[in-house]
Amino acid sequence: MPTREIKQEEWHSFFDSISKKGNLEKKRAKIEVISLNIGDQLAAESLPIFGIVYEPKSDTIEIGLEGLTHMIHHPKKVYIEEDALELCSVNISDENDIQHIIRLHDPMTLPPPE
């Protein structure tokens, strides 16, 4: 999957765009938080995602999930992975070199009853 960096001046419009165009509709998210100090922590697993917003005034990225808002203060880098123009993951590193990896996936569906 191709990975590309989203420049800081594009964060607000990029996240607004993916949130408003329905690119996250019916998606679920897994959020991993990784750093040398805390290791690999799971912040959310398979929760419906409503949107991702960058707030320039507070320099914060907010990920809205069902029952949870994951906040990333003072982000420094944003990388995304796309597959056939579909967003697969967002990797955000903050001022403390903590990585927040948001992996998107479709919910599992069961076959219809016979």
- Count: domains in the chain: 1
Q: What span, in angstroms and rounded, lies between the C-alpha atoms of 58 and 46?
A: 28
Element (H, E) at 65: strand 60-65
Band the pLDDT of 110: cuts 50, 70, 90. Answer: low
- Non-local (6+) Cβ contacts of 67 within 8 A are 47
How many other C-beta atoms can be found within 10 angstroms of the C-beta atom of residue 84?
Answer: 6
Is there a domain that residue 88 lies in?
A: yes
Percent of the chain with pLDDT over 70: 94
- Decide if 95 is inside a domain: yes
Inside any domain, residue 111: no
Predicted model pTM: 0.87
Is position 24 within any domain?
A: yes
Q: Using CA atoms in the order 16, 51, 1, 94, what is the torsion angle rounded to 10 degrees?
A: 80
Span 13-41, pLDDT tens digits: 999 988 877 678 889 999 999 998 888 98
- With a pLDDT cut of 90, the percent of the chain lying above it is 68
Q: Is residue 112 part of a domain?
A: no
User: What is the span of the domain harbouring residue 100?
Assistant: 3-105
Which CATH number covers residue 25? 2.30.29
Q: How far apart are CA 66 and CA 70, in angstroms?
A: 11
pLDDT of 72 above 90: yes
Q: Judge whether 114 lies within some domain.
A: no
